Structure 1
Amino acid sequence: SLSNHGFAVELARVQDAIRTIIMETAYRSEQEQNALSSKPGSWSEREAIRMFEQMRPQLRERIPEIVAGRRGNLVQARMEFEEEARTLGLDLRSPAVSGRLHALFDLHLEISEAEELQDPSAARRNRMLRILYHGAVHLPDDVRRTIERLEGNLPSFESLVETVLESSEGEFSEAQQSLIIRFLESKGYLVNTSELRPRVLACAGIVGTELGYLTPNQIPRLAPGILVSDEHVDAIVAELKSLAATFKPKQVEEEEPEMQLAESVADASDRVGGVRGQIDRVDALLSRLRLQDGQ
């Protein structure tokens, strides 16, 4: 409501002013709609329409630039288009001229939407944008800035993917995926993260599928995780098993309470030292895993 934008709508004079503006806007809109199908009623109106028809080609060429410059904000684009018409000498006070001007703007938008629906490149890029921006409101600011940079350079990204797939003869294995990520990193895109890497590789898979290099089953769902050799994996598993075994309680024969107390007191310092050593080994192993994750 208007109260959320700072208007004191509880005041009677503010309510009257709002009603007046709404009625004037509705009347002007009705006049413009009627002017589209009615003939000009005076010489000045006919002259204004003639001038508009002369400027129509120039105005039509300016619409794509204005819409693109406003990044899809159609309200601001429409206002800038009106200002462009005024600078060309058109009298927008005439409903016949203003109605035709807005009709020209709306017609261009409808044609552009129809062209995008038929353009495979636009449909492909819309799919990629849906993947990149999925849940983006929960991502950090630096990740969203990287996504915005990628959005502005999707044609270059498509060329990169096409070049990589063409040189690899349609293969999209781990090597090609890493090549794409490293190239983007060299250009300043921080894409080698858990949030962006899967999205970027999925977009690359979409490009490869649309261009005929890949099948839909080859589109990456998840990015590669920690990459270690088989020997390293076996060593880590063996070490984890040995550490787990040391923490298992050992079965001992029942002894007299006095003997158990004496042994526990005698071995207290040794046990504390052993536990500390085991904890240090666990910390060292976790550090190695984090190091591998960072690589």
Structure 2
Amino acid sequence: MTTIDEGRHMNIGFAGIGRMGAHMVRRLLEAGHSVTAYDLYLSADSLPEGLEAVTVASGPSDLARADVSFSMLPDAAATDDVLFGEGGIVPAAASGHLHVVMGTVGPTAVRAFASRAEAAGVAVVDAPVSGSVSLAETGQISTMVGADADQFRRLQPVLAAMTKAQFHTGPVGTASVAKLAVNSVLASLNQGIAEALLLAEADGLTASAFYDVLGSSAVAAPYVGYKRDHFLDPDGAGVAFPLSLLHKDVGLGLELARRHDLNLPQAATVGNVLDRALATGLGDKDMAAVLEYLGLSDQP
């Protein structure tokens, strides 16, 4: 079992060089680590700016040779393929290898991954993150870590290179529960902002004037501040977190609620709105596009 010490140079495997993953890998490089990265669309000629020192893997199995490997992938299916598919990490890894699932796949999937990997002597833990792409760029995102105490101690120095705070939530899977609960609140706040903007503008208040009020009000969570441009200038702001991924996360949360016979009317309402927004073709837009959907006169 590899020991991870603070300040020690490490060889790190990383699968998933997307909006979040690219910034996280850059911060690992800046902390002095070596990174071997895998992504379906990654090649030595297409490395994002700041990642020129990355070694591009020919397949996920190359990541198994690292001291520790991470994945930041959009869903359970993609993570399953990288871990267990042909040329995956787990079949190629030596006993004692540690893999960290940082994508939001839900507790059921990550616990199943951990159980399957254990049979091969590989440990799988979860460490999903909370925060925007811009916060990932500056290392200001936080991470929840589902692992045993020793695994958390080993991982914390590496995670600290990518995140501002690391919360040990308990055994594997608990971090994914925490992430789904956080994103349930986030999705509700996202819809609340959209509805408030529509209400304000309907009776003559400008969106920018109202947002100034909102940003200094009792509900001025950090999300309100850093999503201002996405609500007021969506074309200029671009996409930080696609509506399709929020839809996936809320769906996982509702699935977990059903497993425990919970009635969560707010989450259910937000989930229904996201279902319909996705059906209108807004999935690739930023999650703030809920405002665009709610503003449609012909909502399905």
TM class, shorter-chain normalised?
under 0.3
Higher helix share: 1
Higher relative contact order (CA 8 A, sep 6+): 2
What TM-score results when the alignment is normalised by the length of structure 2? 0.26
Which structure has the bigger radius of gyration?
1
